[in-house]
Chain A
Amino acid sequence: MRSVAVVGFAQAPNVRRTTGTANGVEMLVPIAHELYAQTGLEKRDIGFFCSGSSDYIAGRAFSFVMAVDAIGAWPPINESHVEMDAAWALYEAWVKLQTGEIDTALVYGFGKSSGSDLRRVLSLQLDPYYLAPLWPDSVSLAALQCRLGLDAGKWGEKDMAEVVARSRADARSNPNAQLSGDPTADDLLGEPYLADPLRRHDCAPITDGAAGVVLVAGERANEIRDTPAWITGFEHRIDAQNLGARDLTTAPSASSAAVAAGVDGASVAELHAPFSHQELILREAMGLGGEVRINPSGGPLCANPMFAAGLIRIGEAARRVWDGDAAKVVAHATSGPCLQQNLVCVMEAG
């Protein structure tokens, strides 16, 4: 495999609602400029652009097309798009780098969830014949998953509260976090339920946001970063969606992706768990022991821009390598209801 590193990462401020358009241009223009400034690269140095976004989040068909205006696609560029979190757009870019056709890639993702009722929109991800017509929303499905775990004794509400407390505290040092603070687990347990057994804070906030990452192959990465975050494992898998047909307290696709990517020895993991109990599921599924620091950025419970949040996990993890805080890190992204599809990216200092 060709050596490819994450050398640039930028994100928009994560906020409950922006005044900008659903096609993300206002958020993406500064992100692109920041990436070029960080890396010293110019638009014409980029061999491939790839993005991740969703028409149903934007409320219109072909919504990613308008976002292309943010990157200045002239002269014509080599470009593609996935209707998935931009973490998978990064995967597509990484694959293209492996073919040797290109040496650099810029990947971006965005989502303006404030424009609609996100919980309801996500119901449309469900089987259109049996499940979607009942409109079970995303929070309710996660709550069912949480109930299964609680009843099976796999975790307790206090464990969930501790995830939230730690996340909020860590987010205080993240200038881009939407939510942060200093609640204790007991404070949190005193809050009312939003969808029993989930409380509001157990659920990721609604966030408008965007992010971008730059990948570079080979020696050039060393010219850009003292300690580039070299990708040493990049895997993704999907489980069946049928919610009654699998054990929702596990995430087999996260397990197999983690094994294939090789997470052992990582000291930091950025996990895309939009619900507190899902972090507990992922830690076990991915074999991350107590010595691994989870979501030092505050994670999705403090900012969750749809279709960019997975990419942000990769960027945040990469930063720990650049800063010398960790020699091996793991980033995870998820898609679909109840951790149906999972991606794992392992990065290491050289």
Chain B
Amino acid sequence: MAGAGNGAVDKVLAAVVGTGQTKHTTKRDDVSIAGLCREAADRALDDAGMTWTDIDAVVIGKAPDLFEGVMMPELSMAEALGAVGKPLLRVHTAGSVGGSTAIVATSLVQAGIHQRVLTLAFEKQSESNAMWALSIPMPFSMPVHAGAGGYFAPHVRSYIRRSGAPTHVGAMVAAKDRRNGAKNPLAHLHQPDITVEKVQESMMLWDPIRFDETCPSSDGACAMVLVDENTADAHVSAGKGPAAWIHATAMRTEPTMFAGRDQVNPLAGREAAKALWEQAGITDPLEEIDVAEIYVPFSWFEPMWLENLGFVPEGDGWKLTESGETDLGGKLPINVSGGVLSSNPIGASGMIRFAEAAKQILGRCGEYQVEGARKALGHAYGGGSQFFAMWVVAADKPGV
């Protein structure tokens, strides 16, 4: 990678010692925006056995401010976020923001600047109107834009055409993620009885994407406590719980539209994954990753991302899904938390993926825990499939 570091600097090892999320739902009319954030942050601190005074810095992320109708809401939440007198950063990288926020927080620890960082991502999109904010018609142009689903549906069609995937694969993903989401008390949608057939009968929203293959619109927040190696070691020795060691992080971006762009299998995603596996010392992701939380807001993104991430060769993603190996108990359980298909507070979703990966390592997933998970992937994407952020967390320190 151009301009890549000379590696002569010693990066501090960072770890996740606590996570917290709100119960994701259509509309949290019982809390203010600050209250929503506090709920996740308080839970993360409890999970980490820490208090507000332990935190050195806060890194917060969310998607466009038009979703709440508040410009830079973190400013009026400085007290609620425990940030008064401390450094506060606000990240915004579209849908991948939850992931990139976690990566910025990780960098602060890796750089040796802070020892304990609270990172949080949220969206209280019921406050404004997300579909409107995503589809504001631009003057002089043709207003065919129909929200995120309308944007991605044509590219899903391209994937199906290119790969020759049978059309029930999308429905399989949706049924799997909703069924597993029912095991996650915090997931927005709980549909334990959903079947592939029910999904296939649901209304077509943006052909070929159906209603049941589409993420919900959720209010929600997610937070994590990231610490340096010394703090994590002390945490573990004191019997406060395990640590999820951060082995690698990667972010890549490409333009939304350009002549000859591959919208189905974007190079930015492929290169981010490549950099990630290399940093993590992983040569066979399918074998070495025990569980993955990847950003699937529309069912077909599971097979698409399986290929983009390099788990399987191009064109074969749907086969792994169809085989059932991406369900609990399979070779590569994917989105057993229910994924974005079960909860989608847009600004938080990326961090939820990163946090759920950490939770698997920390052994805190209850009914959807993957037994013996020791290495997990968290993945997020945003914009027109152009912003990618991902991390690998593990039960052991790197090189062990």
Contact = CB atoms under 8 A, between A and B. Distances in A.
Direct contact of A and B (CB under 8 A): yes
B334 to A, nearest CB: 24
Contacts, number: 207
Interface string B67-109: 1111111011011000111111111111000001000100110
Contacts of A132: 70
A69 B71 contact: no
Nearest to A43: B2
Contacts of A105: 3
A55 B6 contact: no
A79 B107 contact: no
A319 interface: no
Nearest to B388: A76
A126 B92 CA distance: 19
Interface residues on A, range: 35 or more
B71 A98 contact: no
Contacts of B251: 78-80
B3 A102 contact: yes
Contact of B110 (A44, A92, A99): A99
B113 interface: yes
A125 B2 contact: no
A161 to B, nearest CB: 30
A36 interface: no
A95 B73 contact: no
Nearest to B135: A61
A125 B71 contact: yes
A319 B128 CA distance: 44
B2 A47 contact: yes
Interface in A37-80: 44-49, 54-56, 60-62, 64-66, 68-69, 73-80
Nearest to A343: B87
Contacts of A323: none
B271 interface: yes
Contacts of B89: 82, 84, 88, 91-92
A100 B11 contact: yes
A94 B258 CA distance: 30
Contacts of B175: none
B4 interface: yes
Given A65-B383, A74-B258, A241-B75, A80 B104 contact: yes
A96 interface: yes
Interface of A is mostly: mixed
B72 A54 contact: yes
Interface in B91-143: 91-94, 100, 104, 107-108, 110-113, 127, 133-134, 136, 138
B86 A238 contact: yes
Contact of B87 (A49, A121, A237): A237
A126 B94 CA distance: 22
A253 interface: yes
A242 interface: yes
Nearest to B254: A76
A159 B127 CA distance: 44
Nearest to B103: A80
A237 B70 contact: no
B255 interface: yes
Contacts of B76: 125-128, 131, 241
A81 B91 contact: yes
Nearest to B108: A95
Contacts of B64: 55, 61-62
Given A80-B91, A238-B86, A238-B87, A122 B71 contact: yes
Contacts of A256: 85
Contact of A102 (B4, B72, B84, B136): B4
A104 to B, nearest CB: 4
A47 B75 contact: no
A47 B4 contact: yes
A56 B70 CA distance: 9
A189 interface: no
Contacts of B5: 47, 99-103
Nearest to A126: B76
Nearest to B253: A79
Interface stretch (A178-186, A271-279, A293-301, A333-341): A333-341
Contact of A100 (B9, B68, B252): B9
Given A80-B251, A124-B71, A47 B3 contact: yes
15 contacts: A47-B2, A47-B3, A55-B64, A62-B383, A65-B94, A74-B255, A78-B1, A82-B90, A101-B107, A102-B3, A126-B76, A218-B6, A238-B87, A240-B79, A336-B72
Given A75-B254, A80-B91, A98-B112, 11 more contacts: A45-B3, A47-B4, A75-B267, A76-B271, A99-B5, A102-B3, A124-B69, A128-B33, A238-B83, A240-B84, A241-B78
